[in-house]
């Protein structure tokens, strides 16, 4: 298996290499940032991955990469007065059941949850070590429990199949209930790897009660490779996303610094791919996350490297009648947060929130990572974007390394996870109040 040298998979699964069903943690009302839940291993999991999904009723859902006895979990975090209760609603068993869920969940109108596991499933490709990954559904059973169904197992590169492998970017639902996403590898041979440079896929319910997969696009390297983030829709039904590598090779990036792509639906069911932005190092490099769309139809995203400081940028793409104009928003620096790898979040006022894995450099609690990571905010003032650090994580007992995005509730409170940190240094769920 070939993965990009600094891929999201390798970063998010690093704790796997190195390294009670209910628990209540009191809310620290006196603090701006408070830890709602400390992961301590065992049945409730460790190493939360991705962001949190709110159900609109104050509950939050998320995933952990692993536990001491299973291959990851799906959990629900529920408020009870001044405390929070975490319930594990599913534990993965590995093998055909799937292993290591790695991205933010989505929910349909019926309350069903959908997600991905990076590994596991029944894919038998020689290039998939431990399975090529799955897409799963969790449905309320009416008795307070959940029923899990594997909707699809990726097959990877095989003689008879050029399917995708290793889904890590998360899913998107359309109004008809179809699921869309990306895989990091698979999709046939490409110019950068014989295990494939990744695909964009669609999963649709079929007439037999199952789900059918359709490959919408296969990346070939020169015009993009290794999509680590998911895809999003605009109002016209076009899909947008990023690739971690690909595009023209240059001195900054031997395999290309990555791209922003668009897939436009065509008559007959095909999709036309186009490149909206190619990264070259100075304008960013290696986008690890997908994109967000604001109310004006502009796209925003991050790169995990590049820029003047070499530690990532926030970029924008402004829509016009016939083209897209790239807009530099913010360049990270070592004295603040650096290495953003999660999707951005936009509030009702148009402010942008995000997280960085590390920074600021010099933070004594996390010297190895160059800082424990931050939550940042970008506010537009007189046409210019101003960055501020909402919270700099301090390491245990505070969180460390927020790999996932932030979720904003109706009161403007921010919720998210850190991959490590917390009292046991196995990850935490945090809230930041205005």
CATH code (residue 79): 2.120.10.30
Helix, strand, or coil (residue 214): strand
User: Mean pLDDT lowest for which of 68-72, 88-92, 406-410?
Assistant: 68-72
Instruction: Tell me the mean pLDDT in the region 301-314.
Output: 95
Helix, strand, or coil (residue 359): coil
Question: Is residue 2 in some structural domain?
Answer: no
**pLDDT at residue 229 tops 50:** yes
- At 320, the pLDDT band (50, 70, 90 cuts) reads confident
Instruction: Tell me the mean pLDDT in the region 410-421.
Output: 95
Position 319 scores a pLDDT of 84
Position 21 scores a pLDDT of 28
| 381 bridge partner residues | 384
**pLDDT at residue 246 tops 90:** yes
Distance, CA of 125 to CA of 195 (rounded, Å): 10
**pLDDT at residue 179 tops 80:** yes
Distance, CA of 434 to CA of 429 (rounded, Å): 17
**pLDDT at residue 332 tops 70:** yes
**pLDDT at residue 73 tops 60:** yes
Instruction: Tell me the mean pLDDT in the region 148-155.
Output: 96
Q: Which residue has the higher pLDDT, 319 or 397?
A: 397
Cα dist from 84 to 49, 81, 342, 403, 412, whole Å: 19, 8, 25, 22, 19
- All residues at 6 or more sequence positions from 143 whose CB lies less than 8 Å from its CB, including other chains: none
Instruction: Tell me the mean pLDDT in the region 351-358.
Output: 96
User: Mean pLDDT lowest for which of 39-48, 198-207, 211-220, 256-265?
Assistant: 39-48
Bond from prior residue into 360 cis (ω within 30 degrees of 0): yes
Instruction: Tell me the mean pLDDT in the region 156-174.
Output: 89
Query: Among 102, 175, 91, which residue's Cα sits nearest to residue 135?
Result: 102
- At 367, the pLDDT band (50, 70, 90 cuts) reads low
The rounded percent of the chain whose pLDDT value lies above 70 is 91
The residue to which tokens 């932030």 are assigned: 406
Instruction: Tell me the mean pLDDT in the region 82-109.
Output: 95
Distance, CA of 180 to CA of 166 (rounded, Å): 14
Q: Which residue has the higher pLDDT, 114 or 44?
A: 114
Contact 275, 257 (CB under 8 A): no
DSSP alpha helices (H): ranges in 204-333?
none
Instruction: Tell me which residue range forms the domain holding 25.
Output: 8-432
**pLDDT at residue 392 tops 50:** yes
- DSSP structural state of residue 43: G
- All residues at 6 or more sequence positions from 30 whose CB lies less than 8 Å from its CB, including other chains: none
Instruction: Tell me the mean pLDDT in the region 80-86.
Output: 91
Tokens for 396, please give them: 């245990």
- At 395, the pLDDT band (50, 70, 90 cuts) reads very high
H/E stretch holding 15 reads: helix 14-18
Instruction: Tell me the mean pLDDT in the region 146-172.
Output: 91
The rounded percent of the chain whose pLDDT value lies above 90 is 72
- At 366, the pLDDT band (50, 70, 90 cuts) reads confident
Query: Among 254, 217, 241, which residue's Cα sits nearest to residue 289?
Result: 241
Question: Is residue 3 in some structural domain?
Answer: no
**pLDDT at residue 144 tops 70:** yes
* 16-71 pLDDT, tens digit each: 333 322 233 333 333 489 999 999 888 888 999 999 999 999 999 999 998 878 89
Instruction: Tell me the mean pLDDT in the region 404-428.
Output: 95
What's the total number of domains in the chain? 1
Question: Is residue 121 in some structural domain?
Answer: yes
Position 128 scores a pLDDT of 87
Position 6 scores a pLDDT of 40
Reported residue count of the chain is: 434
Instruction: Tell me the mean pLDDT in the region 154-176.
Output: 90
Q: Which residue has the higher pLDDT, 16 or 220?
A: 220
Contact 99, 78 (CB under 8 A): no
**pLDDT at residue 108 tops 70:** yes
**pLDDT at residue 14 tops 60:** no
Instruction: Tell me the mean pLDDT in the region 88-100.
Output: 95
Distance, CA of 335 to CA of 247 (rounded, Å): 30
Tell me how crowded residue 434 is: count the other CB atoms within 10 A of its CB: 8
Position 191 scores a pLDDT of 84
- At 361, the pLDDT band (50, 70, 90 cuts) reads confident
Position 192 scores a pLDDT of 87
Position 363 scores a pLDDT of 62
Position 104 scores a pLDDT of 96
């Amino acid at each position: 298996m070939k993965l990009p040298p600094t891929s999201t998979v390798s970063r998010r699964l690093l704790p796997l290499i190195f390294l009670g069903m209910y628990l209540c943690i009191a809310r620290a009302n006196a603090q701006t940032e408070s830890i709602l839940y400390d992961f301590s291993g065992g049945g409730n999991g460790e190493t939360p991955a991705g962001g949190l999904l709110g159900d609109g009723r104050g509950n939050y859902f998320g995933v952990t990469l692993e536990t001491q006895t299973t291959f990851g979990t799906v959990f629900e975090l529920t408020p009870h007065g001044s405390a929070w209760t975490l319930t594990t609603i599913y534990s993965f068993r590995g093998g055909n059941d799937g292993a290591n869920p790695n991205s933010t969940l989505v929910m349909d109108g019926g309350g069903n949850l959908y997600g991905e596991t990076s590994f596991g499933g029944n894919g038998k490709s020689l290039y998939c070590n431990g399975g090529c990954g799955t897409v799963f559904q969790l449905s309320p059973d009416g008795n307070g429990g959940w029923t899990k169904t594997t909707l699809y197992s990726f097959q990877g590169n095989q003689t008879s199949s050029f399917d995708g492998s290793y889904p890590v970017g998360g899913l998107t639902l359309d109004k008809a209930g179809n699921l869309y996403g990306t895989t990091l590898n698979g999709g046939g041979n490409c110019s950068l790897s014989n295990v494939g440079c990744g695909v964009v896929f669609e999963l649709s319910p079929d007439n037999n009660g199952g789900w059918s997969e359709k490959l919408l696009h296969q990346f070939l390297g020169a015009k993009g490779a290794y999509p680590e983030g998911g895809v999003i829709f605009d109002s016209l039904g076009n899909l947008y996303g990023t690739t971690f590598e690909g595009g023209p090779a240059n001195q900054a990036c031997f395999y290309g610094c990555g791209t922003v792509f668009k897939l436009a639906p065509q008559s007959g069911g095909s999709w036309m791919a186009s490149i909206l932005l190619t990264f070259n190092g100075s304008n960013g490099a290696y986008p690890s996350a997908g994109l967000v769309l604001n109310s004006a139809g502009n796209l925003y995203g991050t790169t995990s490297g590049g820029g003047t400081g070499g530690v990532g940028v926030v970029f924008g793409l402004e829509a016009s009648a016939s083209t897209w104009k790239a807009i530099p928003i913010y360049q990270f620096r070592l004295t603040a947060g650096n290495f953003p790898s999660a999707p951005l979040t936009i509030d009702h006022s148009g402010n942008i929130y995000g997280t960085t894995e590390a920074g600021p450099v010099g933070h004594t609690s996390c010297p190895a990572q160059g800082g424990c990571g931050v939550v940042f905010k970008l506010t537009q003032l007189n046409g210019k974007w101003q960055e501020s650090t909402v919270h700099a994580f301090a390491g245990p007992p505070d969180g460390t390394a927020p790999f996932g995005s932030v979720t904003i509730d109706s009161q403007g409170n921010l919720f998210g996870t850190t991959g490590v940190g917390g009292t046991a240094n196995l990850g935490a769920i945090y809230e930041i109040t205005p």
